[in-house]
Amino acid sequence: MLKDKLKKALAPLDLAQVADGDYAKTGYHLEVAARPEQMPAVAQAMLSQGCFLESLTAVDLRESFTLVYHFANFHELCRTVVHASLAKGAEAPTISQIYPGADWYEREVYDLFGIRFAGHPNLKRILLPEDADFHPLLKDFAAEAAND
Amino acid sequence: MIELGIEEKTYTLNLGPQHPSTHGVLRVLLEMEGEYITKAEPVIGYGHRGHEHMAENRNYHQFLPNMARVDYLHALAYNQGYCMAVEKLLGITVPERAEYLRVILSEFNRISSHLVWIGAYLLDLGAFTPILYCFDDRENLLDLLDRITGSRLTYCFYRFGGVPLDLDDEFIAGARAFIKRLRTRFKDYNNLVTKNVIFINRTKGVGLISQEQCLKYGLTGPMVRGSGIPYDIRKSEPYSAYPAFDFEIPIGDKGDIMDRYLVRLREMEQSLRIIEQALDKLPNGPIMAEKVPKRVKPAEGEVYQAVETARGEFGCYIVSQGDVKPYRIKLRVPSFGNLSILPELAVDTLVADLVAILGSVDVVIPEIDR
Amino acid sequence: MGIPQALSDFSFVLVYLVAAGLFALGPIILAHLIAPRSYGASRDAIYECGMPIIGSAWIQVAVVYYLFALLFLAFDVDVLFLFPVLLAYGKGYAWLDFIELIIFVGILSLILVYAWCRGVFNWKRKQVTP
Amino acid sequence: METKTGDPLIKLGRLEKYLNLARANSLWPLTFGLACCAIEMMSAGMARFDMDRFGAGVFRPSPRQCDLMIVAGTISKKMGPAVIRLYEQMAAPKWVIAMGNCAISGGPFYYPGQYAIIPGADLIIPVDVYIPGCPPRPEALLEGILQVEEKITKRGRLRKFRDVKG
């Protein structure tokens, strides 16, 4: 079963938590908690098992960010979510050299949240105009500043 | 005044926001040597309207109309994805008749989306007649959907817990008539387009995508099925009433533009099969779950619901902190991943081929920019 | 003293040139006079999909385009030769003239066949291996 | 928004009336679909609703050959300068139709915290006819085009449609 193979692949990385997800309630088969520094290793392990990066996003929990990575597989149904909590102002390592698709996702997270990704080939805004100086999805984003 | 002796060889061109082949406001920055492209960089964001920012200051009901304006060509799949995600959060089970209705209407909407794509794509390649055929079929379909949902394009028809209106006999008769009519039209499409030598020369062996590239870029939908991977959420992660129907997943073999075109064409036939089976086995019963809370206030937690749209896998990821307003909604849209492979496909291709490749990705710009 | 015979013959050519010039410039002048004006900062700028242009167009261009220019020249000269044909032919048996013309144009269009065989027209796609 | 077209050098008086008749019946729109309204604009150009009946079906990609700009969709802040540039590059006489609520006033995407869109096409370019709807049906776009024609020729184009009984 793919889930066991994934658990075996993720075991050596001593991640904070690798647990079965409750598919009926949350839609996940495997829930993983990791530190941002471990993300390239986690991504490499997932790629070795043939999983693709479904989506990469962030959630602003006011005092810290949570980077959320979703991995899925073409041939077998097993959705893995990886939560990596990141302090405000800290940098997360990029996984775009492992998953080239992550390049745009990381640029979008940078654009909307301001989280910088170390080692990203060209980290600049993707959705907002280049001269925008605000990050809209931050919880303390005052929209009036942007509408002047 | 011509500066003599300049050896700058590459010519930079904007395949800009206002261009007939970009299906909206996508800008591709091209660096070219003569006719061959050395670098193509899509610049997106010209259709960014801030759906995810709107989600955070609206309650769950108010965000429903937005769902139809993210990908307006297959709006009902986005409604279905969002409603199923919220139903998972609230723990509501949708009655079987409502699930059948949702499948029927979503499949009809998929056909209308593919019809728009075939018409617009062949217009990019210079054929002016097919779009008239496609839009003619689509108008018949929109009359059908207009009768029950009330709108032609941006449907906001599904509710949490089911469907507000029921099908009447006229709709079912119209649906069967439409199915019969569209089946005869596939012959025209094959003769008019698939066997057209210009179309074959422009699409065979162009824009090849390997399965390994699909994995690395996270492609979904007809892009991935064109390369031979049978990945379709309706089959690989069965949701709603899809397990009750038998239909195949058409796949291509080489992954060039012709395969993607054929996949979309055959997908329409499969959709017709699904609708027919759904109409035959339509169960009676309620179309709305019994106790659906008026004020949707889900418990704390997060959910990810994937749905198969015409362009690929739409994932609705909701983080709720027990408030009336969602804390964060991330819309995993297929075209964002599908388009990110364009720079790699475009190297060393002719400009005319780039237009063909860009069209075969089937992008909807406000869906990429959200 | 009358105008020398040779000069008056050329007066027709002069009239012809003036008429051609007016025919070409006329609409431009007319439009300039009676069309409403349009103002705007980027009205005269180059139109490129709504974006300001990047770099200049005066760069070294692939040589293939030069071959297209040569082919056009060949057929332009071809048409140029057909002008005097109007005067010389049409007197005797019409079909004979028509066949002669076909032969003349046929020989000149061999250039096109030659170029086609040499593969000037097909843009070879670089083998893109995924 | 001050209009950016001025009067010609030589005023023609009566002939202008006939020129306007010709202009009204051959409005060439610019292919300029921004969002959802673009699909309804395409449907209006197709066989069933057929803008060609009013001479407006010839969609030209380049603004140089157009005299009608249909702003069909939301103008995002990143797209604003491009819209202004396209409008300025159109040759006079030119008209603008703001199609859909987004082009009229930002539509469903305008709310106090909005950061990404320009709420309304008339903030950046002079608009002649507004067509409400989200998206407006193709018939509404046709009526909008007839309104533009009425504005050009100052004669009731819609009169014969309004008085149709039944």
Residue spans of the domains in chain B: they are 11-369
The whole-chain average pLDDT of chain C stands at 83
- On the question of pLDDT at A142 being above 70, the answer is no
Q: Residue B240: is it exposed, middle or buried by C-beta count within 10 angstroms (0-12/13-18/19+)?
A: middle
Q: What is the mean pLDDT of residues D97-111?
A: 92
With a cut of 60, say whether residue A144 has pLDDT above it. Answer: no
Please give the Cα distance from B18 to B10 (Å, whole number): 23
Categorize the per-residue pLDDT at C71 as very low, low, confident or very high, splitting at 50, 70 and 90.
confident
Chain A neighbors (3+ CB pairs < 8 Å): B, D
The reply to whether A72 touches chain B by the CB within 8 Å rule is yes
Asked if the model's pLDDT at residue C124 lies above 80, the reply is: no
Indicate the range of A2-6, B51-55, B217-221, D26-30 predicted with least confidence. A2-6
Q: How many domains does one find in chain A?
A: 1
* Amino acid making up residue A43: A
What band does C128 get if pLDDT is binned at 50, 70 and 90?
Answer: low
Q: Which fold has domain B11-369?
A: Cytochrome-c3 Hydrogenase; chain B (1.10.645)
**Is D26 part of any domain?**
yes
CATH number, domain of A79, equals 3.30.460.80
User: 3-state secondary structure string, C47-111?
Assistant: CCCCCCCCCCCCCCCCCHHHHHHHHHHHHHHHHHHHHHHHHHCCCCCHHHHHHHHHHHHHHHCHH
Torsion of CA C38, C43, C49, C54, to 10 degrees: 180
Residues near C73 by Cβ (< 8 Å), separated by ≥ 6?
none
Interface of C to B at Cβ within 8 Å reads 48-51, 53-55, 57-62, 64-65, 123, 125-126, 128-130
For residue D160, the model assigns a pLDDT of 61
Average pLDDT rounded to a whole number, residues A38-59: 92
User: What pLDDT shows up at residue C129?
Assistant: 59
Averaged pLDDT for residues C9-33 = 91
> What is the average per-residue pLDDT within A73-84?
92
Distance CA B66, CA D30 (A): 27
B22-38 per-residue burial string, b: 16 or more CB within 10 A, e: under 16: bbbbbbbbbbbebebbe
According to the model, what pLDDT value does residue B1 have? 47
- Identify the DSSP state of B219: -
Query: Prior bond to B20 cis, omega within 30?
Result: no
Q: Model confidence at C10, in pLDDT bands (50, 70, 90)?
A: confident
What is residue A139's predicted lDDT score, i.e. its pLDDT? 87
Q: Is residue A119 part of a domain?
A: yes
Q: Is residue D6 part of a domain?
A: no
**Confidence (pLDDT) at A130:** 87
Mean pLDDT of D84-106: 92
What size, in residues, is chain D?
A: 166
Q: Which residues contact B119 (CB under 8 A, 6 or more apart)?
A: B130, B131, B132, B133, B134, B135, B138
Q: Peptide bond preceding A36: is omega within 30 degrees of 0, i.e. cis?
A: no
% of residues, chain D, pLDDT over 90: 58
Residue of chain B whose Cα is closest to the Cα of C124: B350
Q: What is the DSSP string of A63-119?
A: SEEEEEEEEEESSS---EEEEEEEETT-EEE--TTT-TTHHHHHHHHHHHH--EEET
Q: Which of A81, A104, A85, A103 is nearest to A29 (CA)?
A: A81
Instruction: Identify whether A148 is part of a domain.
Output: no
Q: Which pLDDT does position D164 carry in this prediction?
A: 61
Residue A49 domain flag: yes
- Chain D's closest residue to A146, CA to CA, is D115
A-D contacts (CB, under 8 Å) = 17
Q: Say if D9 falls within a structural domain.
A: no
Question: Has residue D104 got a pLDDT over 90?
Answer: yes
State the Cα–Cα distance between residues D41 and A49, nearest whole angstrom: 46
Q: Which of D110, D101, D92 is nearest to D71 (CA)?
A: D101
Work out how many domains chain D is built from and give that number: 1
Q: Is the four-CA dihedral C64, C66, C67, C71 of positive or negative sign?
A: positive
pLDDT at res. C15: 92
Between CA B363 and CA B71 the distance in angstroms is 10
Quick one: closest CA in D to B370, which residue? Answer: D116
A37 is a domain residue? yes
pTM for the model: 0.91
The continuous run of DSSP H or E covering A24 comes out as: helix A23-26
Please compute the mean of the pLDDT values over residues D48-65 and round it to a whole number.
Answer: 90
- Average predicted confidence (pLDDT) for chain A: 89
Using 70 as the pLDDT threshold, list the residues of chain B that sit under it.
Answer: 1-8
Region for residue A59 given its phi and psi (left: phi exceeds 0; alpha: psi -120 to 50; beta: otherwise): beta
Q: Is the pLDDT of residue A145 over 70?
A: no
Domain that holds residue D74: 14-162
Quick one: pLDDT at residue B325?
92
Q: What is the DSSP string of D90-106?
A: SPSS-EEEEESHHHHH-
Beta carbons of B52 and A28 less than 8 Å apart? no
| D77 with A129: Cβ contact below 8 A | yes
Tokens, residue C124: 């070879």
Least confident stretch, B47-51, C116-120, D36-40, D46-50: C116-120
CATH of the domain at D45: 3.40.50.12280
Q: What is the CB neighbour count within 10 angstroms for residue D114?
A: 20
